[in-house]
Structure 1
């Protein structure tokens, strides 16, 4: 079980530039059993601004979980992982890479940069929703997340 009190929403940051994947992820999480607040940014530059609470993201909550696509404009997911890994405050946040890439070098590099999981997005809509719901079930109901020090 999660360490958060019942009824307290889990903060999730989705870093995804594909509007269709954003919509599917929102739908899957809405159908799930865990109360969550999904924050969406569309590229790596926005992701780092959100995580560092800079500019328009000042005052945003620190996420309990990051869902990160690798294929992003401006700053790709690997660069985001590198910056998270170098930041003592941010590296405690679990990162699940959720991407279309099946390249072995992307998988290896993600784990080298301390991604907590690597999942290839299914092409089929129903399978995508199932993966998102399984992610929610595992990461938000079964895994004990680190306390949010805010």
Structure 2
């Protein structure tokens, strides 16, 4: 059986990380979850800029989906999105902006950069939980990934 590809959660809020992980666990999502606390960590993971995620760990596979906050330290989510969609190794990885931003310019810029979905984080715990559960189920279970995004590893030359 093929190893399940991870979900990459890029979030700097410890509370939102905890809630997201709990919601994904409760939804019985079998995919492992990798947490990056800022844009630099996310890019390190996706583009193999460090040895933090060795190939042998199983955590080095391209994620089945990236759940990406916009407001991040060091490198913001919009720049991370631009780098993901601009790199031939990662451009087919689905990215869901999961953010508290309701600013129209963030929505427009995200779609302009190629985001696959834009979800405003619900305020209530129950609504947040349900939204995460639905996002995880759709992207990790129901969605058929692009063949190049599923098969190509970031370290491979093309």
Is TM (by shorter chain) over 0.5?
yes
1:22 aligns with 2:8: no
- Cα distance in 1, alignment partners of residues 5 and 61 from structure 2: 10
3-state SS in 1 of match to 2:61: coil
With over 3 angstroms needed to count, the CA separation of the structure-2 counterparts of 1:92 and 1:146, relative to structure 1, is same
Give distance in 2, aligned partners of 1:34 and 1:44.
24
TM-score (norm 2): 0.86
Deviation at 1:139, TM superposition (A): 1.5
Runs of 4 or more, structure 1, over 6 Å off, are none
Greater Cα offset, 54-63 or 68-77:
54-63
Q: Which range moved further: 55-64 or 120-129?
A: 55-64
Paired residues, number: 145
Q: Name the counterpart of 1:115.
A: 115
The question of whether the paired residues in 2 share the 8 Å contact of 1:8 and 1:35 is answered with: no
Is residue 2:43 matched to residue 1:57? no
1:80-119 to 2 correspondence within 5 Å?
80-119=80-119
**Unpaired stretches in structure 2, ≥5 consecutive residues:** 154-158
SS at match of 2:63: coil
Q: TM-score, normalising length from structure 1?
A: 0.90
Extract unaligned runs of 5+ from structure 1.
none
- Separation of aligned partners in 1, 2:47 and 2:89: 9
- The answer to whether 1:45 aligns with 2:47 is no
Specify the SS of the correspondent of 1:92. Answer: coil
